[in-house]
Amino acid sequence: MRMKRVTLQGPIEAEGIGLHSGKTSRVLVLPSDVEDGIMIGAVNGQKTYPIGECDVFSPGRSTCVVLPGGHTVFTVEHLLAALYGMGVDDVVILVDGGEIPIFDGSAGQWVDLLQKAGLREKENTAKTIYDIYSPLYVESDSGDAWLACLPCESLKVTYVISFDNSFIGTQAFAAEVTRNTFAKDIASSRTFVRLKDVEELKKEGLARGGSLDNALVFGDNGLVNDTQMHFANECARHKALDLLGDLALAGLPLQAHVIAYKAGHKLHLRLVDRLRRLCKGGGS
């Protein structure tokens, strides 16, 4: 079935605190009538750039995009996950500040904003899907975490996590990613951290904007936040959310089954690098 490309019916404007910088930033997400994919730039910049052609890196707890002009945008994964999960192909992201707002630590508010703006199929267009014809595999340097990307007739994710905190423990989540399943089963899952890691993050200059309002914090006696879990396996679902946001950086919607075991942003980006090179015909 020929699928049309999707953009927004109207613009989105959002403002909030960055998780790692602790500073307020403003983001505009604008409809696009050209078939350039997801473009990103600065609000006052002269140019925007395809997200799939920007340099990317992870400081460990987020994913960052480096624009060709040298400007870095931190923590792009939740916004990109919302666009990717909701099937949005062509938009322009303009950032005033160095980081995408964290909101409550999930992609839920981005999905709400997308739904309020409305999604529009573009006439006389065809969505380009990136098919995987043979398996891809990447693993951590220590070999205790890995990602596999397998041929599949749709986009599926399976994510397994395992932490030494007994209240997080070992969790798994699997789903076929559609607009409905993303909005219902993935988007509202929040980022999480162990209480013992918070001080180390602060020393590294990260999580300056972190609070109990934008992250689930797990201590020795359970959840520190005065809140209820959205799902019993919310942490695994959030890792799947992060994975989808990082996969958006390949530049094309993927059709594959991606299986992750104890992975994270750095390993996600190793897979993205493989996908980018394959997409450009550079081999695996």
User: How much is the pLDDT for 1?
Assistant: 52
- Residue 19: the pLDDT is 86
Could you tell me which residue, 280 or 122, shows the higher pLDDT? 122
The more confidently predicted of residues 139 and 202 is: 139
How confident is the model at residue 15, as a pLDDT? 97
Q: Given this model, what pLDDT does residue 171 score?
A: 98
- Residues 229 and 107: their CA atoms lie apart, in Å, by 15
**How many CA within 13 A on the CB side of residue 202?**
8
Active-site option among 20, 238, 257, 265: 265
In this prediction, residue 210 carries a pLDDT of 80
Over residues 167-212, the pLDDT tens digits come to 999 999 999 999 999 999 999 999 999 998 887 877 777 767 788 8
265 counts as catalytic: yes
pTM for the predicted model, two decimal places: 0.95
Instruction: Encode pLDDT of 11-26 as tens digits.
Output: 999 999 988 888 999 9
Strand order in the sheet with 64-66: 55-57, 64-66, 72-73
Tokens read off for 270: 């190793």
Confidence (pLDDT) at 159: 98
Helix (H, G, I), strand (E, B) or coil at 257: strand
Q: Give the number of residues written for the chain.
A: 284
Task: Give the mean pLDDT of 261-265.
Answer: 97
In the numeric block, which tokens belong to residue 58?
């992870």
| pLDDT for 204 | 76
Q: pLDDT by residue (tens digit) across 116-125? A: 999 999 999 9
pLDDT interval class at 284 (50, 70, 90):
very low
Q: Give the per-residue pLDDT at 281.
A: 60
Q: Which of the residue ranges 115-119, 128-132, 210-214, 216-220 has the most confident prediction, judged by mean pLDDT?
A: 115-119
DSSP H helices, 35-162, are: 77-85, 108-117
Confidence of residue 283 (pLDDT cuts 50, 70, 90): very low
Report which of 84, 113, 115 is spatially closest to residue 178, judged by C-alpha positions.
84
Mean pLDDT along residues 228-239: 97
Q: What is the Cα–Cα distance from 49 to 32, expressed in whole angstroms?
A: 13
Q: What is the pLDDT of residue 82?
A: 98
Query: In this structure, what are the phi and psi dihedrals at residue 22, rounded to the nearest 5 degrees?
Result: 75, 5
Q: Is the pLDDT of residue 109 over 50?
A: yes
Domains of the chain in start order, with CATH, are 6-128 (3.30.230.20)
What is the overall mean pLDDT for the chain?
93
Q: Where are the alpha helices (DSSP H) in the chain?
A: 77-85, 108-117, 179-181, 195-203, 234-247, 265-279
Q: Are 271 and 279 within 8 A, CB to CB?
A: no
